[in-house]
Amino acid sequence: MPSNNLVEQKIVDTLEKNYMPYAMSVIVSRAIPEIDGLKPSHRKLLYTMYKMGLLNGERTKSANVVGQTMKLNPHGDMAIYETLVRLTRGNNALLHPYVDSKGNFGKQYSRDMKFAAPRYTEVKLDKMCEELFKDIDKNTVEFVDNYDGTLKEPVLLPCTFPSILVNANQGIAVGMASNICSFNLVEVCNTTIEYIKNESVDILEHLKAPDLPSGGQLIFNEKDMREIYNTGRGSFKVRARYRYDKDNNCIEIFEIPYTTSSEAIIDATIELVKGNRIRDIVDVRDETDLNGLKITLDLKRNTDPDALMNKLYKFTPLQDSFSCNFNILINGRPRVMGIMEILKEWIIFRVDCIKKQTLFDIEKKSDKLHLLLGLKKILLDIDKAISIIRNTEQEALVVPNLMKGFDIDQVQAEFIAEIKLRNLNREYILNRISEIENLQKEIADLKDLYSSEKKIKKVIIKQLEYVSKKYGQPRCTEIIHEEQVEEVTSDHLIEDYNLKLFLTKQNYLKKIPLTSLRNSPDHKLKDDDFIMQEIETRNKAELLLFSNRHTVYKLRIFEIDDCKASSLGEYLANLLGMEDGEEIIYMAATDDYKGYMIFAYENGKVAKIDLSSYATKTNRKKLSNAYCGLCGLVYISHIIEDEELVAFSSLKKVLIFNTGRINSKSTRDSQGVQVLKSKKGSIMTQVKRINEVSFKDLDYYRTKNIPAIGCYLKGEDTEDGQVKFEL
């Protein structure tokens, strides 16, 4: 029977009661690292290994470590082992691994290379972990009960250097995430020292850039790096490193970005080769071995390896971005912080650790001093002490009688009573109490240290200098500046070659490589069709196609399929999606949009339009108002430099003029300027280039000033049959 005891509850209340505790647990207890640079799973594992004596002892089976860690970490054994794997030297995930390992632990840079089972691998703590656990037994950090209350575990580890910045850390919680890149240990220590000395220091002067264990080249952009350092958010680019083997004509890639894998790079490269976007690679293979990562690319002859790698950087994960999100738990609360804030919080943490350690030492030394001061009192009369003990009939009264006889407290009396009979001599007691003066001085120094934050910071600096000197190593990731990097676009994948374009009257377009044209120059055309324009250009150029509807269509020539002279070519009405009755009347090719478009109209006006007016930032395929539509068009041409043109009127008048006398316009549909004056209602009928006529006296038709009416065509120039007037 279904229960009728249902209680209505607002969804907000349900979320607050059930989901929020879970979300906070994931944030605080699992995914976000704390100021010691560790997540709880890391800390529990490392502390277990520390208690197992693996800091100085021999390696033990990983399965043993995993089993012992389950006393602190109630998760499954595989989850614990995967945490262990990432901390090992064998996995290459950290700049300074915390676990010295033996066996197969997979590789951070490989997606498919799996780690061996824990029964086959062996581990111990790396020597550097001495700095993680330094003075942990001196109350430097707080301890809490484990999940079942049977053991104690540290809340944080008292790291003597900012490990939060030295080893990369990534975590995904509920509603937030953390992604902290690693920095070079020497640079981090030096930066922290400089920050302690001067809180206004320019961090970027000392902390050059992130340093990733996978190496590679970091593309340095100062603005982006400062944003990361100041806000804790941002991204930077890392690219692979390679060498060219001239003897075998191959490229060997030996370092890749931290955020990708060798398999992802190989897959992306193969896709480019299969899609004919890159034609210079013969073979791609993974040659990773015991010496480390190696991806080999066999090349075709005469391939430029640097140019090829620039293309691969652009279109494969050989260049990738690392997105930073410096989200760290501070006192149980997540905070996204810049480098300076992180260092400030770490220094506060370390000052507290050293204060607690100093207080512990003061208490221990004070207890010892107290005992020795009691011992000093019996030096005055050893025989009396022996007599008191000897003449006391009941054992329980020995301590009270010593207290009364020498005016000492119970702790001192207990200490004296426990001294062996053989040590009740003057020499032993003198040797012991000679420590009193040194102890008093040490306690005074410790109290002075405890009360002076300035002196505590000097201790921190000394420890940082020691860590930097002992464990520092050269940068793994090379820094290259943005100016050194060639900007690669999709055009770099386009094969460039010489070709010819043919436009027919019936609007077929042929794109024929020159090599193909030499082999078969005869064109196939439809009945009554003919080639009305041909131009020579390159595959990477852009094509402008002007229609009789005052529109220009733009195409990238590489988007048009190559064809042979024996084919009809592309039908432009289908290719461009033109309207009914619309025809292409002229085409122009350019790769830099230099030069001008010349438009001549029946009313005698000529417009000179900058070709750059047809360039667009977006990849627009169609531009309206490509030229003026107020009057009939009689001539259209693309020129690079000014030239002489010959204009003809319906009155058989001719005018030779130079386009240099016409001011260029940026407005595409400009009407232009009057060049040929109208007389008795005459119109301009045609325009030709100067090399298309063979007049005997060119100067007769030339004019220096426009507009002009022109001169009648001489009889000797018409007899050639070179000029026909269409009335």
Catalytic residue annotation: 120
Q: Which tokens hold the place of 75?
A: 């998760």
Residues 6+ apart with CB under 8 A from 473: 184, 185, 186
DSSP 483-511: GGSPP--GGGGS---EEEEEEETT-EEEE
Name the H helices within 536-616: 572-576
- Whole-number Å distance between alpha carbons of 714 and 335: 91
DSSP 262-300: HHHHHHHHHHHHHTTS--SEEEEEE--BTTB--EEEEE-
- The structure tokens 């000392």 sit at 206
Biggest CA-to-CA distance, the chain: 159
Q: What is the phi/psi pair of residue 182, to 5°?
A: -95, 155
Closest CA to 656 of 701, 601, 611, 695: 701
For CA atoms 84, 85, 89, 93, the dihedral sign is negative
* Buried b or exposed e, range 162-198, using 16+ CB within 10 angstroms: bbbbbbbbbbebeebebbbbbbbbbbbbbbbbbbbee
Between the alpha carbon of residue 385 and those of residues 194, 285, 401, 422, the distances in Å are 58, 86, 9, 14
Name the H helices within 75-144: 77-87
Cβ atoms within 10 Å, residue 608: 20
Angle, CA 159 vertex, CA 157 and CA 161 arms, to 5°: 160
DSSP 349-370: HHHHHHHHHHHHHHHHHHHHHH
Cβ atoms within 10 Å, residue 243: 12
For CA atoms 127, 133, 138, 140, the dihedral sign is positive
- Whole-number Å distance between alpha carbons of 41 and 33: 10
Angle, CA 278 vertex, CA 276 and CA 280 arms, to 5°: 115
Cα-only R_g, the chain: 43
For CA atoms 60, 61, 63, 66, the dihedral sign is positive
Residues 6+ apart with CB under 8 A from 679: 649, 651, 653, 709
- Whole-number Å distance between alpha carbons of 498 and 152: 77
Q: Which tokens hold the place of 13?
A: 């209340």
Say how far residue 440 (Cα) sits from the centre of its chain: 56
For CA atoms 360, 361, 363, 367, the dihedral sign is positive
- Whole-number Å distance between alpha carbons of 449 and 456: 6
- For residue 94, the surrounding DSSP H or E stretch is none
Helix (H, G, I), strand (E, B) or coil at 555: strand
Closest CA to 169 of 28, 32, 73, 322: 32
Residues 6+ apart with CB under 8 A from 636: 546, 585, 586, 597, 598, 599, 600, 627
Q: Which tokens hold the place of 123?
A: 């581990």
Residues 6+ apart with CB under 8 A from 128: 96, 98, 471
Residues 6+ apart with CB under 8 A from 32: 39, 171, 173, 176, 178, 327, 328, 329, 334
Cβ atoms within 10 Å, residue 320: 20
Q: What is the phi/psi pair of residue 256, to 5°?
A: -130, 165
- Whole-number Å distance between alpha carbons of 588 and 533: 10
